[in-house]
């Protein structure tokens, strides 16, 4: 007789095998195990039926956790029923797993991926290069305006590459990147609307939704965001109030859609 913990583990394995297929799951588990004994940053690739091209991950980083979230637990399954999206903006794209998932799910779309961390961005470029001109990649942080930003550092072997934060540079401080705002991204895209806006930016959403949302927020059809703390949730909910979104939850995500 299995206890509660064993049943939970069995369900988890079943979910993973269902997402990858048995052969791919065995290969992934084997590579993940070997990566724990590899030098930090050593690259290896994993195939999934939910991505058109293999996904490259780095040993001794949080990359395998991101892969599991996106492709095994299908964190963004809440977007699967969106019909014929044109423009997708991925804020906090990390190493490109969510972007690869969405580009593969919606072959008629094009995507803008924004990621501030240089190591993540290098892997992002590698993962999204096969999608060609369907994808534009920016090493930047999303903010309410274009200001210099300071990117937090992540110590080697910390497994914190998926939680990089940014802040506005103080007066007289040298920023490492320039921020970009969503209104500018939409304007420069040449599109009238954002079909899907995905946001996972480790608390910077409080700044993004605190100001300068009028030019673009009413032109978003589907918005999925991970909110980090009570302040972020309060600022976000105030910004979308009265804009006609239907709001639901999908595990850690807040999902906002417009009625058909």
Output the CA–CA distances (angstroms, integers) from residue 102 to 20, 51, 159, 185, in the order listed.
16, 8, 24, 18
pLDDT score for 153: 76
**Residue range 45-99, pLDDT digits in tens:** 999 999 999 999 999 999 999 999 999 999 999 999 999 999 999 999 999 999 9
pLDDT score for 35: 92
pLDDT score for 155: 64
Domains in the chain with CATH codes? 78-257 (3.40.50.150)
Tell me the pLDDT of the chain averaged across its residues: 94
pLDDT score for 2: 59
Picking from 118, 114, 117, the residue whose alpha carbon sits closest to that of residue 91 is 114
User: How many residues make up the chain in this entry?
Assistant: 260
Q: Does residue 119 register a pLDDT over 90? A: yes
Picking from 133, 149, 121, 134, the residue whose alpha carbon sits closest to that of residue 58 is 121
Bin 80: left if φ > 0, else alpha if -120 < ψ < 50, else beta: alpha
**The pTM is what?**
0.94
Task: Give me the mean pLDDT over the 174-178 stretch.
Answer: 93
pLDDT score for 31: 94
Q: What percent of the chain has pLDDT over 70?
A: 98
Task: Give me the mean pLDDT over the 211-220 stretch.
Answer: 95
- d(C-alpha 233, C-alpha 229), whole Å: 6
Task: Give me the mean pLDDT over the 114-134 stretch.
Answer: 97
Lowest-confidence segment of 24-33, 34-43, 143-152, 154-163 by average pLDDT: 154-163
Neighbours of 235 (CB within 10 A): 17
Place of tokens 């942080």: 141
Q: How confident is the model at residue 157 (pLDDT cuts 50, 70, 90)?
A: low
């Amino acid at each position: 007789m299995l206890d509660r913990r064993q049943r939970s583990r069995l369900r988890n394995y079943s979910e993973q095998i269902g997402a990858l297929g048995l052969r791919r799951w065995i290969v992934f588990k084997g590579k993940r195990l070997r990566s724990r004994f590899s030098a930090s940053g050593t690259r290896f690739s994993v195939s999934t039926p939910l991505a058109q091209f293999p996904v490259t991950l780095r040993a001794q980083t949080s990359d395998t956790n991101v892969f599991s979230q996106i492709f095994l637990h299908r964190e963004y399954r809440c977007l699967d029923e969106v019909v014929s999206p044109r423009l997708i903006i991925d804020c906090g794209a990390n190493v490109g797993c969510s972007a690869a998932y969405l580009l593969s799910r919606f072959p008629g779309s094009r995507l803008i991926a924004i990621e501030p961390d240089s190591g993540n961005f290098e892997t992002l470029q590698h993962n999204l290069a096969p999608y060609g001109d369907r994808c534009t990649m920016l090493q930047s942080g999303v903010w309410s305006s274009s200001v210099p930003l300071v990117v937090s550092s992540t110590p080697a072997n910390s497994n914190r590459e998926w939680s990089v934060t940014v802040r506005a540079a103080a007066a007289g401080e040298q920023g490492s990147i320039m921020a970009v705002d969503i209104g500018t991204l939409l304007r420069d895209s040449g599109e009238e609307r954002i079909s899907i806006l995905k946001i996972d930016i480790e608390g910077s959403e409080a700044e993004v939704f605190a100001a300068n949302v009028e030019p673009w927020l009413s032109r978003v059809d589907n918005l999925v965001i991970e909110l980090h703390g009570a302040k972020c949730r309060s600022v976000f909910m105030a910004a979308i109030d009265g804009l006609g979104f239907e709001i639901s939850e999908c595990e850690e995500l807040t999902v906002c859609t417009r009625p058909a």
